[in-house]
Amino acid sequence: MATVLIVDDDAAMREGLAETVGDLGHLPVVAASGIEALARLGAGGVNAVLLDLRMPGDLDGMATLARIRARPEAPPVLVLTAFASPANTIEAMRLGAHDHLTKPVGRADLAAALDNMLQRARPDPVLERPRPPGGLVGSSEAMRRVQKSIGLVADGPATILICGETGTGKEEVARALHAFSSRRERPFVPVDCAAIRPDLLETELFGHARGGFPGATADRSGAFAQAAGGTLFLDEVGDMAPAMQAKILRVIQDRTVTPIGGRPLRIDVRLVAATHRDLPALVADGRFRADLYYRLAVVPISLPPLRERLADIVPLAEHFLAAFGKRLSAGAAARLLAYPWPGNVRELRNVVERAAFLVRGGMIAPEEIDLPGAPPTSTGDPDQDADLPGAVARLERRMIEGALTAEGGNRTRAAKRLGIQRQLLYAKMERYGLAADEATLSQITTDHVAKADSENGEDSGNIDRFP
């Protein structure tokens, strides 16, 4: 039971709202003015506020809202008005109202609004996890391979080529390479080769001397010089023009740069490149120099798309939401996991940050996750009304079933896909009644699975299958 403060100068409206709040199982307390409301709040114990917008006196509804929201640990406020307008709706939301409803308010609408406010006001320790250090988030098997590669090569001098679809986080990998290297105290300089006109890219990278060309009135250092002793990150190197490719190759070979109109300079820079393009295919088509490709790809790191990193989706979303002090509900997490994420991590960040900006409370509900082309959430979803442990259990079961189906029943690969140990997968399958009996197993043809496991170094004589 929660204590709900009802603030309205109309006695009949106060009584009607109080009766409804009481019928919903909560304790109503009333105030006839903003002054009375602030005094009652000062006594403590109020969990939510229903506030009339139009009240006489010096402290109208909007001024009362501002005073309430300025209090430490202010309760959520639902603003009610019989005269809604774009201006007062916008101002109420700007001042921190949880929602803005028009009178008369139906019982069902009031019940839903109260439940929503009270749920968001309660802390949920189950969903609160420590924020991972740095920007490289992920514990899936695919991301663990990336992280291991970073650790192996971070301190070496080799040039790194990071490949992956747009939005997968290639710059975060480059920054991690720099942060964990002995060069971390020196500059990290990123240059987006696709965003700079080809005729300006040379100046951006190499700089120019005074008088090097018409209009060059002063010396300018390029990105190579700015990154001295540190790391230069060339993003979207696959979009680089052929003439610039030749100049970059010369820099890598000679370790010198020549500013336009200037003299050659020795450089000490760790070069990390990235691209979303298929460079071997571009080499085959004659659109990218083979010798430059081999110079860049001394150590290639392949960054998988988000749809192949199911175990990373919720931790990434929570990482982005932590900056706003907000959390995902179990239903919202399930909605994120069901989406294919063509825009990868960049799209995920956009979606959850949009929800964080538009949601007043501390928890993101499923219907507040706006996904392009995805069907709206159904009010009949059992996860909507379930307790959190039950919702998480159903989500976990669905993820295990999906991973086993995607991997043709192979438990070893399903565990890797989920980012958990195989023994833990066995235990969870047993818990959820997913363990297959021997009769069912014998009906499944798994020759292709055994062949794949053998090629991947797994013990093909001991294959875990799932119907």
pLDDT at 462 over 60: no
Domain locations along the chain: 3-121, 141-302, 410-467
Looking at the whole model, is its pTM more than 0.75? Answer: no
Residue 108 has pLDDT above 80, yes or no: yes
**In this predicted model, what pLDDT tens digit does every residue of 366-388 receive, in sequence order?**
888 988 876 655 444 444 444 55
Architecture of domain 3-121: 3-Layer(aba) Sandwich (3.40)
CA angle 170/171/174 to nearest 5° reads 95
Is 3-121's fold the same as 141-302's?
Answer: yes
Q: In this model, does residue 435 exceed pLDDT 80?
A: no
Q: Residue 161 pLDDT > 80, yes or no?
A: yes
Q: Which of 54-58, 203-207, 268-272, 360-364 has the highest mean pLDDT?
A: 268-272
Per residue in 11-35, pLDDT (tens digit) is: 989 999 999 999 888 999 999 999 9
Looking at residue 33, its pLDDT comes to 92
Is it the case that residue 308 has pLDDT exceeding 70? Answer: yes
Does 115 score more than 90 pLDDT? no
Q: Per residue in 185-199, is it b (16+ CB within 10 Å) or e — as a string? A: ebebbbbbbeebeee
Nearest alpha carbon to residue 304 among 81, 140, 97, 82:
140
The CATH superfamily holding the domain 141-302 is: P-loop containing nucleotide triphosphate hydrolases (3.40.50.300)
